[in-house]
């Protein structure tokens, strides 16, 4: 992966606060600035938790320096919790009187550095749950925020002194101030990736273990929830055919389960809600699949009381890393993000001198992208699901917005999938978000490589598959959605249309207006009409970024609703909750309201959110 010349290498390190890490200083032909740029104020708790460190300056420097600092502010640790609801101040517009009663939950990492010299990758940061509660009368919006009290969080945080000491390595990190060699505490369940309200239960999910249940009003952690059963060796042996990989799995299990304490099956953090059937769909895979060229997936379907209505297992003879997936009325859909074992990386990872993720790397050996269509019904035998559909272009799937199907009068099945994807060239396990585990520092240039070819960077795609009456693939096309060529991710739709044909899609995107940060972080919301191929946008403004948008239905029309999105005003270190009118995106009156989170509660970039109506 070739990066652009790094404009961030000139940043000085001597004035940088201890909780934010800088890349190494290199010689520059121009004078090296020794202070942050104009209008930037750095305020973050120091390692001894004695209050904020504040640095300000009036020096004028070029935008590449400001861009570096702006990027760091997205990942500033927030150690404070807001345990009692506080009312947010409206600074622009007003909360509409017809805004429904409910709560917007947002999860993500909250802590990236302890008090003993260790930093962690954003994906390994402890889950920090934020809640924005609307009263339904267009008036008060209450805010709370608490850490998810996972087993790792309880072990690593001392509530009496309010200090932290990392003891778990986490899959993407190593420890500098803790036990490094021989540390088998790898699977650090931080419950920081997604949040779900289903069947009157609020759950925070992570990619590698059980979800944690949260009390929805107080945000107190109730405890870990075992939604999936244990490992069924008889079924696995049958599916693998009892061959060499089954023998390898049997040898790995005592090590992974006993030594590294990995759960036999890890529940993926991305779930799906089948709006038509009112079902929750989830999927798990086996721990040993991370190291073997075969993948075992188990799909579960729950009713609103968490009763299992369906369960199916599929073994795929390929080494895959699945983060998100899709479903239709008759199929589960997996895009085969192909990976391979790195033997040298695996050896150093086991020894504790590198993250566990260094044992894996992407596998771009195929020019095509296999797509597996797995039947939701065990009686569906039209085609052999073990044979994937081969998309002609190579892509790494990131997030799915929606998928739906249509059976025509001749019995041909048409499947449409809207998602975000990137290239194998761009995706790098060891450099996600620009984190360097060796230095413990963030480099925004990694997320902003040369994007002259739009298929390299994260972008929105439309996948069209046509199967004949016998299940044979007649067509599989992949093209940029609406020919939109801006870097984009976190696609969402009106949840009432999940699994059904939709017209509108919303995503976080980059305007590309800032040369130093042209592709990430995102600074605008894009609204795409897949029928007219139009794209309308709302931009947050200069030196301000956004996270994932969330659609709140208002009326019966598909695009009649509101968009909630968090604005990270890094230039002033402030967070805002923004309400947009989804019908007005593209116009000057799209902004309905902006609500201010108190500055001392400024929080880092969140991952995925969920809107829960009061009912």
Q: HEC states along 410-463? A: CCCEEEEEEEEEECCCCCCHHHHHHEECCCCEECHHHHHCCCCCCCCCCEEEEE
* CA-closest candidate to residue 286, choices 327, 229, 224, 204: 229
Amino acid 348: pLDDT: 85
Q: pLDDT for 193-220, tens place per residue?
A: 999 999 999 999 999 889 999 999 999 9
Among 118-127, 452-461, 498-507, which is the least confidently predicted range? 452-461
Q: pLDDT for 397-447, tens place per residue?
A: 999 999 999 999 999 999 999 999 999 989 998 889 999 988 888 999 989
282-312 exposure pattern, b = at least 16 Cβ within 10 A, e = fewer: bbbbbbbbbbbbbbbbbbbbbeeeeeeeeeb
> 């919790």: which residue's tokens?
81
Per-residue pLDDT, averaged over 17-37, amounts to 34
Sign of the Cα pseudo-torsion (376, 378, 379, 384, in order): positive
> 């298929």: which residue's tokens?
455
Provide the pairing of β-strand 441-442 with 459-467.
unpaired
Is pLDDT of 452 > 70?
no
Is pLDDT of 14 > 60?
no
Q: Are 230 and 238 in contact (CB under 8 A)?
A: no
Is pLDDT of 599 > 90?
yes
In what side-by-side order are the strands of the sheet with 413-422?
A: 396-407, 413-422, 459-467, 473-480
Is pLDDT of 352 > 80?
no
Is pLDDT of 239 > 50?
no
Is pLDDT of 51 > 80?
no
More confident residue, 157 or 235: 157
Binding region = 323, 399, 608
DSSP state of 65: H
Dist CA 316 CA 285 (whole Å): 11
Task: Take residue 181 and report the two structure tokens written for it.
Answer: 């060699």
Is pLDDT of 56 > 60?
no
Is pLDDT of 40 > 70?
no
Among 300-304, 353-357, 417-421, 596-600, which is the least confidently predicted range? 353-357
| 170: confidence class by pLDDT, cuts 50, 70, 90 | confident
| 98: confidence class by pLDDT, cuts 50, 70, 90 | very high
Binding region for Fe cation = 323, 399, 608
Among 83-87, 170-174, 242-246, 488-492, which is the least confidently predicted range? 242-246
Q: How many percent of the chain have pLDDT more than 70?
A: 82
Amino acid 378: pLDDT: 81
Is pLDDT of 457 > 60?
yes
Dist CA 71 CA 67 (whole Å): 6
* CA-closest candidate to residue 180, choices 443, 361, 442, 438: 438
């Amino acid at each position: 992966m070739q990066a652009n010349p790094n404009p961030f290498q000139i940043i000085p390190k001597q004035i940088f606060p201890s909780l934010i890490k800088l890349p190494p200083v290199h010689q520059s032909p121009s004078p090296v600035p020794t202070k942050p740029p104009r209008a930037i104020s750095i305020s973050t708790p120091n390692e001894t938790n004695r209050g904020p460190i504040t640095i300000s300056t009036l020096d004028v420097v070029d935008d590449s320096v400001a861009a570096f600092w702006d990027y760091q502010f997205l990942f500033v640790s927030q150690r404070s919790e807001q345990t009692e609801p506080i009312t947010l101040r409206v600074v622009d517009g007003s909360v509409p009187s017809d805004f429904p009663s409910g709560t917007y939950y947002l999860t993500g990492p909250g802590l990236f550095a302890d008090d003993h010299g260790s930093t962690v990758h954003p994906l390994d940061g402890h889950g920090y749950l934020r809640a924005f509660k609307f009263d339904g009368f267009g008036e008060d919006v209450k805010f709370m925020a608490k850490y998810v009290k996972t087993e790792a969080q309880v072990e690593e945080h001392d509530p009496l002194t309010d200090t932290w000491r990392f003891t778990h390595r986490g899959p993407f990190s190593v420890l500098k101030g803790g036990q490094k060699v021989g540390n088998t505490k790898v699977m650090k369940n931080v419950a920081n990736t997604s949040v779900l309200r289903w069947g009157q239960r609020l759950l925070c999910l992570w990619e590698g273990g059980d979800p944690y249940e949260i009390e929805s009003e107080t945000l107190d952690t109730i405890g870990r929830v075992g939604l999936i059963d244990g490992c069924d060796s008889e079924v696995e042996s049958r599916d693998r055919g009892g061959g060499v990989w089954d023998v390898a799995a049997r040898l790995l299990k005592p090590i992974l389960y006993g030594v590294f304490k990995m759960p036999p099956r890890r529940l993926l953090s991305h779930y799906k809600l089948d709006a038509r059937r009112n079902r929750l769909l989830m999927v798990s895979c086996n721990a040993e699949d991370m190291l073997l060229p075969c993948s075992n997936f188990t799909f579960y379907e729950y009713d609103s009381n968490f009763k299992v209505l369906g369960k199916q297992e599929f073994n795929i003879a390929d080494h895959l890393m699945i983060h998100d997936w899709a479903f239709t009325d008759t199929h589960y859909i997996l895009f085969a993000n192909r990976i391979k074992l790195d033997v040298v990386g695996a050896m150093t990872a086991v020894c504790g001198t590198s993250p566990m993720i260094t044992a894996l790397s992407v596998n771009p050996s195929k020019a095509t992208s296999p797509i597996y269509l797995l039947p939701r019904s065990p009686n569906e035998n039209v085609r052999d699901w073990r044979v994937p559909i081969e998309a002609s272009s190579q892509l790494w799937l990131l997030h799915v917005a929606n998928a739906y199907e249509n059976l025509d009068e001749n019995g041909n099945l048409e499947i449409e999938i809207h998602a975000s994807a990137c290239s194998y060239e761009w995706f790098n396990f060891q450099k996600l978000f620009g984190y360097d585990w060796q230095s413990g520092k963030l480099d925004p240039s990694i997320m902003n490589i040369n994007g002259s070819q739009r298929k390299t960077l994260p972008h929105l795609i439309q996948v069209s598959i046509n199967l004949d009456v016998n299940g044979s693939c007649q067509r599989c096309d992949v093209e940029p959605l609406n020919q939109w060529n801006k870097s984009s991710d976190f696609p969402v739709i009106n949840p009432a249309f999940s699994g059904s044909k939709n017209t509108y899609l919303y995503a976080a995107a980059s305007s590309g207006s800032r040369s130093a940060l042209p592709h990430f972080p995102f600074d605008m919301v894009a609204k795409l009409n897949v029928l007219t191929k139009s794209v309308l946008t709302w931009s947050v403004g200069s030196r301000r970024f956004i996270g994932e948008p969330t659609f709140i239905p208002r009326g019966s029309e598909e695009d009649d609703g509101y968009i909630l999105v968090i604005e990270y005003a890094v230039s002033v270190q402030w967070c805002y909750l923004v309400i947009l009118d989804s019908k007005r995106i593209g116009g000057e009156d799209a902004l309905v309201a902006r609500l201010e989170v108190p500055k001392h509660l400024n929080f880092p970039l969140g991952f995925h959110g969920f809107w829960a109506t009061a009912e």
